[in-house]
Amino acid sequence: MDARNLATVATHHKLKKGSLGVWQLSGLSFANMAPAYSLFTTLGLVVAGVGFGAPLLFLLAGVATFFHVNTTAEFSRKCPSAGSYTCFISRSFGNHVGITVGIMYLFAWILLIASVFLVVGTWTQFTIKEILGVNTNWLILMVVFVGIGTWLCISGVTLSSRIAISLFVFEVIVLLIGSGFMIFSHVNYISLSPFSFGKLFSNFKGVGLAFPLAIYPFIGSSNAATMAEEAHKPHHSIRVAVFSAITLATILYVFCVYATIIGSKFDNHILTHATYPMISVAKYALGPYVWLFYVAGLTSTLSLVLVAINAAARVLYNLSKEGVLFKNLSNVHETYRTPYAALLLISIGALGVAVVIGLIFGPINAFNWTGTLGTIPLIIIFVIVNLALPVYFIRNHKDHFSVLFHLVFPILGCLIYLVPLYSTVEPGQPTPYNYFGLTTLAVILAGIIYSIYLVNRRFESLNLGLHVALED
């Protein structure tokens, strides 16, 4: 056993090992993509960009995301860690880059989870209004569901994961059945034209605008990596989980988008002018049972709350254990063996951001802003970790280095994420989006300064990349 693994064994802050099997990990990664809510909110914008070629664009987005998932899988095969990208990058580029990425990761997670919390409040309010005709308060709903979600996460990773996956399974069943009805009720419109490469790429500008939107629903596909310390046989199970999640998600997205286009009878107006195009089309196929789609959106967001809090807390817990953040954040509940301190901090911090921005600017604006600003540093981290993979394998596992898996795929992963990255920081965007690039730069500079301080003042207490999950 080498020194790195001894560091893991010696720690007194252990999570409950072996709690999650490969299919549970797959479900968590899949649930983190929130397919119902992702489809409801992005489909109209994608169709506005590429027309009826949307199914093909989602297929290409899934293939593109596969290259990044490969990076997560290959790192997890050698050094699975609750720190995921912070661990992988630290082992490749050292403490300075690892600490800077850790600060960026924390900033991104708080904003992205704040956006998830806002979704829970507003979508629950919308669902109750549509089904029952009753007006409710999004803020109260958000606080209640966040409180319940945090309590479930603290009460055990197995419990919270089972509930999240159960909610997720319901949304998938509804999406599949609803999409099936859309197709079979309009069989005369079945056509392969939505998969025409010629038609899709005849509008390069539209593809450029829509491709980032098609990528975003896949962003959570690698989050099983953060559950490494609680996984059964993590070196193997995480690889299977992330590849399973991206494969199944791609199939689901393509099928549902294709079904929506068929169900609309190729009516561009319905697809681009409705607030939620998939729900509008489903009304024709499901009639009075369309309420199931509203509930599927709700279970999608509630499941996302559980998996997002759990994933972010594991990263925070690992950064604390490695000396980057306060040591108390790595405290584990004696009974439930969950990182309760990290769970509370991430929930309270994100809830505070959601409440403040939501009350001042409204929940919809707050959702758009926190989601966009949180995505920028996350995409930069994706680019860095893809660059880190060949460096790590050449330095540490040269005998296992593969030109395809450890060089070609990660380079493609980098290039793919440059497209959505540019779309979020390109000049000429309206306020406040025009400040998001500078804000991200300020976070990066703060991370660099903090890394210099830590390395110079606390070098002996830093253990970046050392805490990895052991095989059973």
Supply the pTM of this predicted model: 0.92
Average pLDDT, the chain: 91
> For the domain 18-461, what is the CATH code?
1.20.1740.10
Amino acid 275: pLDDT: 87
Give 414-437 pLDDT, tens digit per residue.
998 888 888 888 888 888 989 999
Higher pLDDT, 72 or 419: 72
The Cα–Cα gap between 74 and 406 comes to: 8
Amino acid 26: pLDDT: 94
- Name the range with the highest mean pLDDT among 34-48, 318-332, 337-351, 414-428: 337-351
Amino acid 457: pLDDT: 81
Task: Give the start-to-end residue ranges of the domains of the chain.
Answer: 18-461
Give 129-156 pLDDT, tens digit per residue.
999 999 999 999 999 999 999 999 999 9
**Is 106 in contact with 90 (CB distance < 8 Å)?**
no
Residue 460 predicted with pLDDT over 80:
no
Higher pLDDT, 15 or 359: 359
